[in-house]
Amino acid sequence: MKITVVGTGYVGLVTGACLADMGNHVVCLDVDARKIQVLNEGGIPIHEPGLDEVVRRNAAAGRLQFTTDVPAAVAHGTLQFIAVGTPPDEDGSADLQYVLAAARNIGRLMTDYKLVIDKSTVPVGTADKVKAAIADELAQRGMSLEFSMASNPEFLKEGAAVEDFMRPDRIVVGVEDERAVNLLRAVYAPFQRSREKLVVMDLRSAELTKYAANAMLATRISFMNELALLAERMGADIELVRQGIGSDPRIGYHFLYAGAGYGGSCFPKDVKALIRTSSEEGLDLKVLQAVEDANDAQKMVLVNKVVAKFGNDLWGKRFALWGLAFKPNTDDMREATSRVVVAELLARGASVTVYDPVAMDEARRVFGVEPRIAYASGPMQALEGAEALIIVTEWKEFRSPDFAAVKAALGTPVIFDGRNLYEPALVAEAGLDYQAIGRPQTRRVPR
């Protein structure tokens, strides 16, 4: 099939590369000339394990092309995937200007049938707006060309996006007509050879499904984080609680890990957008508002622990911080807890030495020129001159440190662990004060 993907960000690039890997001829369009230049020179503008190989393999085979040429991109694909950004407005609603601009370009330039597919995460009713925008452009041209609309939300996890696309657990498609269903069945046939994974529904249900999925996962995280706060007060161990409730098949183990709050480009934005959408419909989604409030508070938990230990005046103290990305296997720092922690420490007069396996360049961009932020070449180097260690991201390379060396390097032997990486008793045996999330210093019962 001939496919056009509008947008070469996280979703667009993964979508285009993986569809090309199945033999389709894909053209990826972006108005960012610098990004297209990087891609055409063999570079990858985002960090996503395995994506560089898929992109380069298909670009070399001629199945994957990158362009800023809007007319050529519209002319190319029978299927037009819109995968542009939908950043939150100040009121929390999703900004649809890029989605609607892509739609108008299609309507302004199309000369034959197109299936236009919303791949971006968009509010319920966006497909109707896209359809209206295309129809308006066609009317201005005095043309009556057939086109179909579809909603095909992505469910990709950053750090495992290629695997998720290649081996999906479900493929949600919202459609209006049989032609659209048949085209989407054809394009996704290679991804569902073992069983039927296509879940076909109407446009609005598909749009709401995406928001509902992310809101549910965010709810589980905030629920466990609040339980962890209670566990700390009552001397219980949230990790044992997680195992106890996760073994119930009605609950399961996924997204039950207590921590320092969720971040990234999806959960915070989508929860806000769903709250805003419900407000516009005259509904107050109390649970979701509580989820957002709990997450905002959870991002301060590590800071509060530091203040409780060292006081509010941190002038002259340096802290080591392991992990900057909002999760492992990505360099994405959007809404990351590390940003809150660093900002709060600096506001109290502290200096910070940071380390992340892949997000250092992104951190320099995010934090800008700040003399009290130092960038270390490795986790142990980050400890040099540090009063204490703060762990924000659960990278694998942080999981088995030399605790004796950590203790020797720190001015005060304390670890503030926002991801519960270690067994408290093991850290305590090394002579370190271990302050995790919802876990006691030592276990009350044997394993």
27 touches 73 (CB < 8 A): yes
Q: Nearest-5° angle of CA 370, CA 371, CA 375?
A: 85
CA distance 17 to 52: 9
Amino acid at 199: V
CA distance 28 to 288: 35
| Torsion angles phi and psi, residue 115, rounded to 5 | -105, 115
The three-class DSSP label of residue 41 is coil
CA distance 243 to 444: 16
C-alpha distance from residue 280 to each of 90, 105, 268, 330 (Å): 15, 29, 19, 34
Amino acid at 186: A
Amino acid at 286: K
Cα dihedral 38→40→41→43 (10° resolution): 50
Amino acid at 85: G
CA distance 368 to 378: 20
Token pair for residue 221?
Answer: 């995280």
CA distance 354 to 323: 7
Nearest CA-CA partner of 306 in 278, 347, 360, 275: 347
18 is catalytic: no
Q: Nearest-5° angle of CA 379, CA 380, CA 384?
A: 120
Largest Cα–Cα distance in the chain?
Answer: 78
63 touches 90 (CB < 8 A): no
Active-site annotation holder among 74, 266, 314, 406: 266
Neighbours of 202 (CB within 10 A): 13
Neighbours of 267 (CB within 10 A): 23
C-alpha distance from residue 36 to each of 33, 42, 65, 74, 106 (Å): 5, 10, 10, 17, 20
The three-class DSSP label of residue 323 is coil
Catalytic residues: 266
